[in-house]
């Protein structure tokens, strides 16, 4: 099979696509003929050996794929050859075939295209659990989403609206990104590249919320935007830190937490997959249901063939990715 193949941790644009042996399922595993895979910023860190989990060498990167089950290991009764599935994995999705544990696969709705199923993977799982499990979001609350034009951002905006947020504000940087955030459902957009962001973000949000502030902040960005968002939060607000796309890990000033009874928490989604897989299954079923009802719809800004995977990761590295970028391994029908 053809696969992105990491034999040594290195910059992603030096990694080859090559022919390697096809995987064989062990007990409890299945092999999927991959049609589409989701490109995510953590894929870069995994390839370069900078992620918190380092796969054993050699390996193929990629954390989410959609395709058709082509082989079934002993003991697997929940899936059969020919089933259309989406799969969540720690690595391995950037390949023509993916071997995974059967319990990490989710039966796709019959009418769902493979590219949409792949796009409803890591970022939508993360956004749902960030809102419901970590932020304890309640219908009618006001949500600020930093990085509102990226994968996590679009997913968080769509889900916040679908779950009943009264106002969703998107923080964006870059030309063309306002349109993406508004298409996702943002009621207001603020420019995170503005001068004196520390004060200006709070001023904007006070105006947009009639002085209330934001109840929930979803932050995959970090950096100066994090500190500015903290000052714009409402009493008893909750911030969920998901990542540091800005490249800067923020320092939280605890006095803000004390004065306004603010809670700041983090989210590492793969821990949910490993520790409470039943919750991940529930969330994925909810995501598929929301998609079928038209409440959410992944925005796929670009599709690239497997051979051009580095093009997708370069857009993520440079902060130029809008919505989701999909690796097309086979025809995504």
Domain spans of the chain?
2-120+298-328, 123-269
What are 108-133's pLDDT values in tens digits?
999 999 999 999 999 999 999 999 99
Whether a cis peptide bond, with omega within 30° of 0, leads into 259 is no
Rounded to an integer, the average pLDDT of 221-226 is 93
Which class does domain 123-269 fall in? alpha beta
Nearest to 220 by CA among 311, 123, 328, 306: 123
Q: What is the pLDDT of residues 42-69, one digit of tens each?
A: 999 999 999 888 999 999 999 999 999 9
Q: Of 117, 108, 22, 5, nearest to 65 (Cα)?
A: 117
Q: Is the pTM of this model over 0.75?
A: yes
Which CATH architecture describes the domain 2-120+298-328? Answer: Alpha-Beta Complex (3.90)
Query: Can you tell me the distance from the alpha carbon of 217 to that of 144, in angstroms, rounded to the nearest whole number?
Result: 5
CB 185 within 8 A of CB 157: yes
SS3 sequence of 39-87: ECHHHHHHHCCCCCCCCCCCECCCCEEEEEEEEECCCCCCCCCCCEEEE
Give the pLDDT band (50/70/90) at residue 333: very low
Q: Pick left, alpha or beta for residue 234 (phi over 0 → left; psi -120 to 50 → alpha; otherwise beta).
A: beta
């Amino acid at each position: 099979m053809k696969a992105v193949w990491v034999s040594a941790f290195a910059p992603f644009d030096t990694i080859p696509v090559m022919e390697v042996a096809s995987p064989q399922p062990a007990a409890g595993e299945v092999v999927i003929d991959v049609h589409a895979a989701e490109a995510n910023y953590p894929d870069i860190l995994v390839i370069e050996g900078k992620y918190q989990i380092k796969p054993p060498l050699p390996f193929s990167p990629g954390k989410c794929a959609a395709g058709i089950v082509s082989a079934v290991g002993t003991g697997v009764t929940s899936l059969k050859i020919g089933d259309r599935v989406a799969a969540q994995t720690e690595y391995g999705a950037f390949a023509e075939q993916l071997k995974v544990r059967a319990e990490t696969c989710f039966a796709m709705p019959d009418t769902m295209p493979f590219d949409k199923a792949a796009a409803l993977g890591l970022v939508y799982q993360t956004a749902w659990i960030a809102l419901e499990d970590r932020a304890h979001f309640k219908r009618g609350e006001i949500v600020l989403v930093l990085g509102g034009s990226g994968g996590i951002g679009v997913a968080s905006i769509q889900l916040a609206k679908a779950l009943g947020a009264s106002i969703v504000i998107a923080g964006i940087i870059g030309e063309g990104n306002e349109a993406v955030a508004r298409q996702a459902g943002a009621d207001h957009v603020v420019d995170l590249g503005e001068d004196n962001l520390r004060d200006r973000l709070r001023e904007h949000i006070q105006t947009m919320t009639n002085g209330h502030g934001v109840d929930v902040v979803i932050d995959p960005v970090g950096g100066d935007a994090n500190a500015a968002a903290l000052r714009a939060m409402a009493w008893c607000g909750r911030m969920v830190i998901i990542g540091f796309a800005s490249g800067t890990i923020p320092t939280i000033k605890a006095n803000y937490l004390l004065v306004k009874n603010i809670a700041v928490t983090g989210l590492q989604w793969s821990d949910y997959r490993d520790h409470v897989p039943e919750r991940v299954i529930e969330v994925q079923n909810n995501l598929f249901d929301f998609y079928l009802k038209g409440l959410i719809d992944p925005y796929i800004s670009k599709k690239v063939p497997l051979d051009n995977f580095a093009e997708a990761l370069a857009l993520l590295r440079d902060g130029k990715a809008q919505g989701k970028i999909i690796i097309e391994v086979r025809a995504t029908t």
